[in-house]
Amino acid sequence: MNAEMSFKRSTRRDHFDVDREIDKVIHRNLMNQSPPPGIYSTILGKVRIETTRPPADPARSLSCASALVAAAVLIVVAIVLAASRAPLAATHTPFFNWLSWIHSTSLSTWINESESFLAYPTILFLHTLGLAVLVGFSVSADIRLLGVAPRIPLASVSRLFPFMWLGFWINAISGTLLFIADPIRKSMNPLFEIKLALVGLGLTCMVLIQRQLYLFDTAPGVEKRARSRSKVLAISSLAIWASAIAAGRLLAYLKSS
Amino acid sequence: MHTFAVWLKATHISWLITHYAWVWATAQVIHFFGMSLLFGCIALLDLRILGIGISSPVSAVNGLVPWGICGFIINLLTGAIFVIGQPLQYVDNPGFWLKMLFIFLAGGNIAIFYLTGVADRVEVLQAGDEAPLVAKVIASASLFLWVGVMFFGRMLPYFGSAF
């Protein structure tokens, strides 16, 4: 068949030839008028982009969006805390008054003074558990992306992310409660905002890795190009979470006087 | 045990650990890294046995176990630094002994897993295969015991009055 053979000759991504061949077929069989020039290559181009973009998934978009919002909030809070500490003698700034107010609320007093096991010790334990889940699974996902245990399918790695998000939110809530218990000393500690900023960066890394894994799943063609990107993300993620843990642990040891 | 702790406290290495403030803090940070590595890798295998992430063959997930063991060894070493540095904080602390008990039980759980052949039955599972019930029980016990270890570790300052 003439049109087929001439089409095969020109499939070396020469858009102009593709247009001409499809034109010929359609003229012969379907239409009387000529379509606009270049219309088919434009359509093919759009189709190619559509197939490589992952289909919209509301749950995934919501989790990505909430993660990025949380990351942005953390980084902004970190900056605000750093900025507010500048005049250390200014103990009557509105920000300090607000922190004093938080410290005086009944929730704060309950966390601090309750003898119940369900108060401070439990909140601390939940914070550690959330971090073990979040950083633990993040570490195993990262070392998988770096080539350890390569027969683990990436789909399984994607299955870890809901647990990691659960770990993060457990830590966000327990962390907020821990902050409420002692807002003034925490905000005076430079390590605290460093930790928040690092957690914000870590979350961003997580979202990017999650997207990367999704792309691997839905558009196998991008794998080669994206593999080096995912390795960079994995290494950054390891470094960021390690620093965040260090900052968090050192909070207890390097209190500002 | 108490006299051993007193003897430990008098050693030079114990003095070294407590003399330089950065030693304790650094050991704490590394202890948390080791905990994350250990829990991340072992929990991954446990979750696969329980059916989460069932699209991996178990032999693939087993590749992460050496890293989990690495995490355990890191924690053993940093833990030793803590105990040698401040033995009196731990020897009278019921929370510490409960933590050691849970580590021992977790080790026993692992021994049962490997010695009774359940590990071999689980190793051959391919993507999509459900693990046998025995394996699931062992995996749940493993998760419970390691979370327990973390729990008692965190609660160390709150048990007894040693801290």
Q: What is the per-residue pLDDT across A121-174, written as a single tens digit (0 to 9) for each?
A: 889 999 999 999 999 999 999 999 988 888 888 888 888 999 999 999 999 999
Tens of pLDDT, residue by residue over B65-119, are 999 999 999 999 999 999 999 898 888 888 999 999 999 999 999 999 999 988 8
Predicted pLDDT at B114: 92
Predicted pLDDT at A10: 46
**Residue-wise DSSP of B76-133:** HHHHHHHHHHSHHHHHT-HHHHHHHHHHHHHHHHHHHHHHTSHHHHHHT--TTPPPPH
Of B23, B32, B47, B48, which to mutate for an interface test with A (greatest number of A Cβ within 10 Å)? Answer: B32
CB of A152 within 8 A of CB of B45?
no
Dist CA A142 CA B137 (whole Å) = 28
Percent of chain B surpassing pLDDT 90: 55
Percent of chain A surpassing pLDDT 70: 78
Predicted pLDDT at B39: 95
Tens of pLDDT, residue by residue over A26-56, are 777 777 676 777 777 777 777 666 666 656 6
CB of B43 within 8 A of CB of A137?
yes
> A-chain residues within 8 Å CB-CB of B24?
253
Query: Is a pLDDT exceeding 80 seen at residue A251?
Result: yes
Q: Which residues of A124-152 are buried (b: 16+ CB within 10 A; e: fewer)?
A: bbbbbbbbbbbbbbbbbbbbbbeeebeeb
Chain-chain contact of A132 with B35 (C-beta, under 8 angstroms)? yes
Dist CA B72 CA A241 (whole Å) = 19
Place of tokens 């914070």: A127
- Chain B nearest CA to A235, separation (Å): 15
* Of residues B36, B53, B153, nearest to A156 (C-beta): B53
Query: Is a pLDDT exceeding 60 seen at residue A226?
Result: yes
pTM: 0.78
By C-alpha distance, which of B118, B16, B40, B27 is closest to B78? B27
Q: Quick one: pLDDT band at residue A91, thresholds 50, 70, 90?
A: low
Dist CA B12 CA A29 (whole Å) = 95
Dist CA A55 CA A43 (whole Å) = 18
- Give the residue-averaged pLDDT of A53-68: 71
